[in-house]
């Protein structure tokens, strides 16, 4: 009887095992490579999505908070210029550099700050202003970013096309009336309107104005001793009337209003 306890693998068995191991290794390596490629591409997509969302939100916030979109209407440009109420932010400029490597924002006299980094490249950046007479201003933004890589498997591109509405000063086609008598103000001590222009008369604390342009039910006060009233004489010359230290009216020549 033959003793088989010390028998080893035959050459054919070794070859079969080697082939199985090689095929399994190739299969596992292929799976690992595919997973790595998918992960790299997903990372690229996430990076592009984050940066394009940040740029879009920054533009929207800046346009909404601006006083004026200082651009020619109907012309696409690579620079968005906004006028701001705050002197430290005025003007605010959002633009793409000449080499299309990054989008920047510059607020007032401050240094330009990059809104995108070296992980992405700017494929497209155009802004267009549209104006609606009597309505809001609309800023259209066309933006596209590419992931900055030479690896074709990790390429990723994201585009954003949006319109941002800037509510401008209101234009009225009827009388502006409060819903309650003697309850609301126009401006206050800390926030004044600059100038006012009226083609008719002004009534303050009184009824409708008739022949006169200004009708006041109360005193008129001057906050400065140099202030007074300018009259136009029949000959066309103008004179400034104010009080001297004795309380008497003093007149002097003045430029006609």
What percentage of the chain has pLDDT greater than the value 70? 89
Tens-digit pLDDT profile for residues 134-150? 678 899 999 999 999 88
Q: Residue 7's pLDDT is what? A: 59
Contact 82, 93 (CB under 8 A): yes
Matching residue, tokens 């009708």: 215
Q: Residue 30's pLDDT is what? A: 74
Against a cut of 0.75, is the pTM above it? no
| pLDDT-based confidence at residue 122 (cuts at 50, 70, 90) | very high
pLDDT > 60? residue 3: no
pLDDT > 60? residue 170: no
Q: What is the Cα 59 distance to its own chain's centre?
A: 4
Q: Residue 89's pLDDT is what? A: 92
Question: How distant, in Å, are the alpha carbons of 156, 237, 250 from that of 226?
Answer: 70, 20, 11
Strand arrangement of the beta sheet that strand 92-96 belongs to: 68-69, 79-83, 92-96, 103-107, 113-114
Measured CA to CA, the distance from residue 133 to residue 147 in angstroms comes to: 40
Tens-digit pLDDT profile for residues 24-78? 777 777 776 666 666 667 788 899 999 999 999 999 999 998 988 999 999 999 9
Q: What is the Cα 203 distance to its own chain's centre?
A: 40
134: left (phi over 0), alpha (psi -120 to 50) or beta: left
């Amino acid at each position: 009887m033959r003793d088989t306890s010390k028998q080893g693998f035959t050459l054919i068995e070794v070859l079969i095992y080697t082939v199985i191991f090689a095929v399994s290794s190739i299969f596992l390596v292929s799976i690992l490579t595919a997973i790595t490629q998918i992960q790299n591409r997903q990372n690229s997509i996430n990076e592009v999505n984050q940066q394009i969302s940040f740029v879009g939100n920054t533009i929207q916030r800046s346009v909404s908070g601006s006083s004026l979109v200082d651009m020619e209407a109907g012309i696409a440009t690579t620079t968005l210029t906004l006028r701001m109420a705050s002197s430290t932010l005025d003007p605010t400029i959002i633009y793409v550099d000449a080499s299309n490597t990054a989008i920047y924002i510059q607020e007032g006299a401050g240094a330009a700050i990059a809104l995108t980094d070296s992980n992405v490249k700017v494929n497209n950046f155009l802004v267009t202003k549209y104006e609606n007479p009597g309505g809001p201003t609309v800023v259209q933004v066309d933006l596209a970013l590419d992931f900055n890589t030479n690896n074709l498997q990790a390429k990723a591109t994201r585009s954003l096309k949006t319109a941002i509405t800037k509510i401008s000063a209101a234009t009225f086609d009827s009388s502006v009336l409060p819903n309650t008598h003697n309850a609301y103000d126009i401006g206050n001590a800390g926030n004044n309107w600059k100038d006012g222009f009226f083609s008719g008369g002004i009534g303050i604390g009184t009824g409708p104005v008739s022949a006169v342009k200004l009708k006041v039910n109360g005193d008129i006060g001057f906050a400065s001793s140099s202030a007074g009233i300018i009259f136009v004489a029949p000959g066309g010359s103008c004179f400034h009337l104010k009080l001297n230290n004795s309380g008497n009216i003093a007149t002097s020549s003045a430029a006609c209003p």
